[in-house]
Amino acid sequence: MSTTQIIARDAYIRTTRSDGKSTVTQHRVWDAERFLAAQQREAMERARKDNVPPDIVTSATADEYRSARA
């Protein structure tokens, strides 16, 4: 019997609000592309619900994350 091993990795996400302020966060995920898509979908749903411009959610790098925390 073979076992499938799930490998988690760090994903860095930049969220930019409509006022221009942005944050970079770190997440431990199994599938970074799927996680990013889910975050983008959630931002759109939240904006539609609250009738406000959506947050812009993009991937970031570890260096950007470290710089944002400094």
Instruction: Give domain limits for the chain.
Output: 9-69
- Rounded to the nearest integer, the mean pLDDT of the chain is 93
pLDDT at 1 over 60: no
Higher confidence at residue 1 or residue 16?
Answer: 16
State the pairing for strand pair 56-60/9-16.
antiparallel
pLDDT digits (tens, 9 = 90+) for 10-57: 999 999 999 999 999 999 999 999 999 999 999 999 999 999 999 999
Q: Full-prediction pTM beyond 0.85?
A: no
Report the distance separating Cα 65 and Cα 14, nearest Å: 8
Higher confidence at residue 5 or residue 8?
Answer: 8
